[in-house]
Copies of this chain bind each other. A is one copy, B any other.
């Protein structure tokens, strides 16, 4: 199991609560990071069913019922303040980005919150195997792309899959598959390797979310299902209101990644 500092999660959340808005890749190594999607109670079944039918992009690791803001995976946490940046959605439109969602939450007290595993979690394992994480090297957010891969719809919720991309040296791609396959709760193994056009990505240098990639000679682009997928589903499905994290700026839990390794 990876080394980790059990207090690092609480410390990172404290810094974020105090105002840090940086991407969270590389923070609190060895602890599970999570995507947020919060929708009104009336939409909660459709969203949970969407996740259940699309476990690769939407592996649910915690669900907070209306009125709950402390995740069982992070003692003393507050979902309204402990994410670096939030996106607010109305009828499928992005209407605002905020660093504190307390006011938005107060206006929508029936929100049901889903925490979805994030691939940042397995980056520690890749690094330990000597596999470079290019976006960390470059000090950038991971690049993420909308694809042409349709998710299975559920009730009113549908949309295409979003993927994160890491350029991996060709000789280490197979090992990256093996390592990430062991983490099905944080998206597991890649959904696509090379040939971005086949999944509808026409320009790797222009991701739909996050920052442009740094690709070295001999790297192959490797694509993992991404927890930003529900945000594209929100755009396609237009619930009256939703709160999500801002891509790359995650909720950091206290849960060791080893808990989710097979």
Which residues of A does B touch, CB under 8 Å? 41, 44-45, 48-49, 52-53, 60, 63, 65, 112, 154-155, 262
Contacts and interface: CB of A to CB of B under 8 A. Distances in A.
Nearest to A48: B48
Q: How many copies does the complex hold?
A: 2
Q: 8 smallest A-B Cβ distances: which pairs?
A: A45-B45, A44-B45, A48-B48, A49-B63, A65-B155, A52-B60, A45-B48, A48-B49
Contacts of A44: 45
Contacts of A53: 63
A116 B60 CA distance: 18
Contacts of A52: 48, 52, 60, 63
A155 B41 CA distance: 11
A48 B45 CA distance: 8
A53 B48 CA distance: 12
A183 to B, nearest CB: 14
A65 B154 CA distance: 8
Given A45-B45, A52-B60, 6 more contacts: A44-B45, A45-B112, A48-B48, A48-B49, A52-B52, A63-B154
Contacts of A48: 45, 48-49, 52
8 contacts: A41-B45, A45-B45, A45-B112, A48-B48, A49-B63, A52-B60, A53-B63, A262-B262
A180 to B, nearest CB: 16
A80 B52 CA distance: 23
Nearest to A52: B60
Contacts of A41: 45
A239 B44 CA distance: 18
Nearest to A65: B155
A52 B60 CA distance: 8
A97 B179 CA distance: 50
Contacts of A63: 49, 52-53, 154
Nearest to A262: B262
A37 to B, nearest CB: 14
Contacts of A155: 65
Contacts of A49: 48, 63, 65
A171 to B, nearest CB: 28
A41 B155 CA distance: 11
A75 B76 CA distance: 48
Contacts of A112: 45
